Structure 1
Amino acid sequence: MKVYKLENKFLKVEFISLGATVISIEKKENKTNFVLKYKDMNRYSDNLYFLGATIGRNAGRTYPCFYKDFDEEKVILKPNENDVYLHGGEDGYFRKEWIVDCFSDDLAVLSFKDISREYEKSEIKIVYKLEGNNFIINYFGSSERPTVFNLTNHMYFNLNREKSETIQKHWLEIAPSLLQIIDDKFVPTGKYESMKDEYNFFNFENQKQVREAFLQKNELSEICKGGIDLAYCFLDGNINKPKIKLLSENKENSLTIYSNQEACVVYTLNKLEDEEKELKKFQGITFEMQKKPNFLHEEKENYLQDSYFSWIKYEIE
């Protein structure tokens, strides 16, 4: 499994073509890898937890498992998480072999021709690039007919030098948002909360440690297995303002995320298989910049596109 490396004086980023998966973002100043990485590279062939993987064609959960295409015909989506469709299904982009079309010291271009039966045929392109202490991901999609596009990356961040330590003491700040409420299937209910009262422990508008959201005696917390597995829907669409800021406990390492996306699913690795030996609960936190989960059913119009562009900037300090 070939590993590609992007590098400048500040950062070294490693990725593989399978799933266009990012396996390392190293801050060179202190040699800290900001993301979780499997020790056994063969695990990326299955990648049960989506570590660093590209998620598509449609990130997040969709239920009921269908959508209406451009001709108003119902298209059935095969469920892959009980009776829910998750992260592009069983054959999602994290399982695809991407073509590396262009590669240099600080730039890589990857492409994939999506001929899925579930969506219109499309051309997908990803650009990874380094600019100073920033790692930037650009997603492009094009199709002859309007279709579904909703891509993101599923890196789990852990800013500790020692990855055996969890992210519970990390400091987290999230731009002003509404919290998308889910049911026990993790499917959005259509309800949104300001997090001022009942769900205040999920409110990170003012910086606080991640663990303050953990192990709360609340129905939503119980659904999330004592952690976070929720979408934050941003109130301000200004792309020049940070959406996420994460710092290690001692604030030696920090991550700031900018994006043009309307929501971020925050997940703190709450659910692990019983036989999992390498990872542990709360070892990482992922920020899935995307459209609102289940937008195919929440949006009444304009949810199909023939041209798509999304970007995420990770500022490493």
Structure 2
Amino acid sequence: MIFGTLPSGEQVEQVELSSGRLRAEVLTLGAVVRSLEVSGRNVVLGLDTLEDYLTRSRYFGAVVGRYGNRIAGGRFTLDGAEYTLPVNNGPNSLHGGTEGFDSKVWTVAGRSPASVTLTLVSPDGDQGYPGTLTATVTYTLEDDGLRIDYAAESDKPTVVNLTNHSYFNLKGQGEGDVRDHVVRIAAEHYLPVDADKIPTGELAPVKGTPFDFTEPHALGERIDGGYDHCFVLDGGMSVTAGGLTMEVTTTEPGVQFYSGSMLDGEATPFGPFAGLCLETQHFPDSPNQPQFPSTVLRPGERRTSTTTYRFTT
């Protein structure tokens, strides 16, 4: 079905998926997961209209790229050449820049009742990044969860870091905030950040700090719930609330845990802590920090990753 039409005249499609007790709605704009229902309860934050996604979104449900998270100063060097990116988060480039993958209309490359594959071609120089990059994301509803498969290829050396930016509220959209959600993250280390939220380069132990979620803790028990940090994963994650548990597994080395504390209820339809994000990904600012796992993608390579969200009662 057609969800809406952009000012350019380009149409945005909504694809509906179902499998067992799960239902989902996916938009071609930004490859957005607009809803994810588990036994009739929508557990992600979605917006009502296309206009909302154009003017009131904080990446709700979108695939962000070409580089998810922050790149310091909007600059990086690759093979001796420096590249300059749009700055849209203080002095930094965030989630691919001012016109990242969340703002693009993706193409439906395949679909079934429980799955849809979307593709996007990002041209050489798009938002300052080198190389024509082809990105693919496949959403598949399984018996007990949502699986997301990512892939990317480029005709020139580039950097890429794709993730999904869904905000989860396991009690249901609009059913209070998430500070009562019990969170577990199998991570012995996290990445401390400076005042601009750029990693210092240290992998700091979580033990004895408010960043220790190796044992489950309610979000609101820790530093007022105000998290926007990358954790170095040793295993999976889980979130429990409202009688529902979400288990998250990924092939990525890290997860950006964002508690939604900066949602304001004015620029967006949702107030602080309306949902939390578990953005599975490589580390922020990796192109400028060679000690981090590499995000460089070269011609002839295919970068893939998989993240799965499984639900139990």
In 1, the alpha carbon distance for the partners of 2:169 and 2:256 equals 16
Partner residue of 1:155 out of 166, 175, 178: 166
Q: 2:33 aligns with which of 4, 14, 22?
A: 22
CA contact (8 A) 2:161 2:295 kept: no
Q: Which aligned segments of 4 or more residues in structure 1 are displaced greater than 4 angstroms?
A: none
Q: Distance in 1 between matches of 2:268 and 2:131?
A: 40
Shift of 1:304: 1.4
In the TM superposition, what is the alpha-carbon distance from 1:273 to its structure 2 partner?
4.5
Is 2:207 the partner of 1:182?
no
Distance 1:244 1:163 in 2: 23
Shift of 1:298: 1.1
Match of 1:245 among 214, 222, 238: 238
CA-to-aligned-CA distance 1:13-57 (integer Å, 9 cap, x gap): 1110000000111012xx111111123442112453110010101
Distance 2:120 2:159 in 1: 15
Q: Which residue of 2 aligns with 1:308?
A: 303
When normalised by structure 1's length, the TM-score is 0.88
Does residue 59 (structure 1) correspond to residue 64 (structure 2)? The answer is: no
CA distance in 2, matches of 1:46, 1:119: 28
> CA–CA distance in 2 between the matches of 1:148 and 1:159?
33
Match of 1:230 in 2: 229
Report SS of the residue matched to 2:177: coil
The CA deviation at 1:244 is: 1.2
2:282–2:295 Cα contact (<8 Å) kept: no
Structure-2 residue corresponding to 1:255: 246
Look up the SS of the partner of 1:94 in the other structure. helix
Which residues in structure 2 correspond to 1:32-43 (within 5 Å)?
32-43=41-52
Question: How is 1:1-317 mapped onto 2 (pairs within 5 angstroms)?
Answer: 1=3, 2-28=13-39, 31-69=40-78, 71-117=79-125, 118-161=129-172, 163-197=174-208, 200-215=209-224, 227-234=226-233, 236=234, 241=235, 243-248=236-241, 250=242, 252-273=243-264, 275-276=266-267, 278-299=269-290, 302-306=294-298, 307-317=302-312
CA distance in 1, matches of 2:41, 2:175: 13
CA distance in 1, matches of 2:188, 2:61: 25
The size of the alignment, in residue pairs, is 294
Quote how far apart the aligned CAs of 1:116 are: 4.3
Q: Secondary structure at the match of 1:44?
A: helix
Contact 2:145-2:310 at 8 Å conserved across structures: yes
Percent same amino acid at aligned positions? 25
Are 1:101 and 1:110, in contact at CA under 8 Å, matched by a contact in 2? yes
Q: 1: distance between equivalents of 2:84 and 2:42?
A: 40
How does the TM-score come out when normalised to structure 2?
0.89
Query: How many angstroms apart in 2 are the aligned matches of 1:116 and 1:245?
Result: 38
Distance in structure 2 (CA, Å) of the matches to 1:109 and 1:274: 32
5+ long unaligned stretches in structure 2: 4-12
Please say which of residues 88-97 and 274-283 is displaced more in the overlay.
274-283
Cα deviation for residue 162 of structure 1 reads 5.9
TM-superposed CA distance for 1:277, in Å, is 6.4
Matched residue, 2:8: none
State the shift of 1:104 in Å.
1.4
CA distance in 1, matches of 2:94, 2:154: 22
Once residues 77 and 285 of structure 2 are traced to their aligned partners in structure 1, the CA distance between those partners, rounded to angstroms, is 13
Q: Relative to 1, partners in 2 of residues 1:12 and 1:162: Cα closer, same or farther, differing over 3 Å? A: closer
- Indicate conservation of the 8 Å contact 2:130/2:157, yes or no: no
Question: Following the alignment from structure 2 to structure 1, what is the Cα–Cα distance between the partners of residues 172 and 73?
Answer: 42
Aligned equivalents of 2:140, 2:268: Cα separation in 1: 33
Q: Distance in 2 between matches of 1:107 and 1:149?
A: 24
